[in-house]
Amino acid sequence: MNKKTIEDIELYGKRVLVRVDFNVPIKSGVITDDNRIVQALPTIRYVIAEKGKAILFSHLGRVETAEDKAKSSLLPVAKRLEELLGQPVKFIPVTRGEVLESAIAGMKNGEVIMFENTRFEDIEGKKESKNNPELGLYWASLGDVFVNDAFGTAHRAHASNSGISTHLPAVAGFLMEKELRYIGGTVDNPLRPFVAILGGAKVSDKIGVIENLLAKADKILIGGGMAYTFMKALGHNIGTSICEEDKIDLAKSLLEKAKGKIILPVDLVVTKEFANDTPFRTTTYGDIHDDEMGLDVGPKTIALFKKELKGAKTVVWNGPLGVFEFANFAKGTRAICEILADMKDARTIIGGGDSAAAAIQMGFSDKFTHISTGGGASLEYLEGKALPGVESLDDAEPCNCGCGCNN
């Protein structure tokens, strides 16, 4: 990675603005998955240990109305962070103004504060998500240095990342650095064989990823709803399964371009209703009834994918293989978790989003080399796109070894 990291700057006594990604699921005031908070702890603890003044901020959901605002406070997150850190986290319930400025002015070295949801600034004029220059400048005025540890929003140019970076020394936190190293570094310089697994509902969501990986991966295994568009492109009946009719020709061209690299399912689990408790059966693509839809891959596909993964040294997975939210149609996704968990000699990376949620929900959170905290950011990075939140960070100094590296 050719960007400066938190270890490249002096933090002692500094007001350290840390953009974290605490966009966690909250139901009835209770956080149901704190993985993103846990993943940010190394950066926060480093600021504390270096006697910096940690000023944390994040977004939480989309905030466009007063009703959204009422249910999107970061207060529950601040309380959970306080528990995980084992020290006080002072919560400031505003995004700007005298109360926030006074709290920061009164901070001592090693203390932590968190201010309110940055998206509250979107209620009028979308100042945060539209990267309003005045807002970026204001937030930058609150600190001496900026640490971006929010990979999950790195694909967006917002006031809380790109806007602040314009005015302060800007570096990557440990989580950001880890995400870039594992996702970008692994895809660009993989140990081979390199196998990619792609799932999810739509081909359109993964077009760029497929095209980028065709040039880099040795095999691409495709499951989930997007597989049905490919199967229809091959002339198979897919019943009422999800399909992007306007992407069938694209699917054909991708299969031609792949020259055998793309591996598709050979059987599937079908049902007549989109529900967990409806009757279901396993069949092949030659025996789907017109009123049936596929909601998971079948056992023969699992066996095929396991065979294709055997001996792989690098595996990147993005997107579930079925409707994992329904227990009866989660077997394919669980099987992939189990297969990858057993690949002790391989570098296994889950590229965020629903596949990451499934792996964590099924109890495999510590069984992979890396589980990304970013959904959209992971997808765009897998496509090979430049991420605004990363591009705006300060470049690292070339090393003195004469090789031109940044280590």
Cβ–Cβ < 8 Å for 85, 47 = no
36 catalytic per annotation: yes
Contact 197, 219 (CB under 8 A): no
Collapsing DSSP to helix, strand or coil, 159 comes out as: helix
Q: Which residues pair with 221 in a beta bridge?
A: 197, 263
Nearest CA to 59 out of 106, 16, 114 is that of 114
Q: Which of 19, 36, 156, 261 is catalytic?
A: 36
Closest CA relative to residue 281, chosen from 239, 236, 319: 239
80 assigned to active site: no
Question: Catalytic pick from 69, 79, 130, 202?
Answer: 202
How far is residue 203's CA from residue 158's CA, in Å, rounded to a whole number?
27
- Is residue 353 annotated as part of the catalytic site, yes or no? yes
Total residues belonging to the chain: 407
Enter the tokens of residue 358: 């499934």
Q: How far apart are the first and last CA of the chain?
A: 8
Exactly one of 110, 184, 376, 384 is catalytic; name it.
376
Check if 202 is active-site. Answer: yes
Q: Could you tell me which of 301, 326, 308, 309 has the C-alpha nearest to residue 228?
A: 301
- For residue 185, give Cα distances in angstroms to 178, 181, 200, 239, 349: 10, 5, 24, 40, 11
Tokens at 339, concatenated:
């297969």
Indicate the DSSP class of residue 396.
Answer: P
Catalytic, out of 353, 374, 375, 389? 353
CB 378 within 8 A of CB 351: yes
The pair of structure tokens assigned to 335 is 């099987």
Annotated catalytic residues are: 36, 202, 353, 376
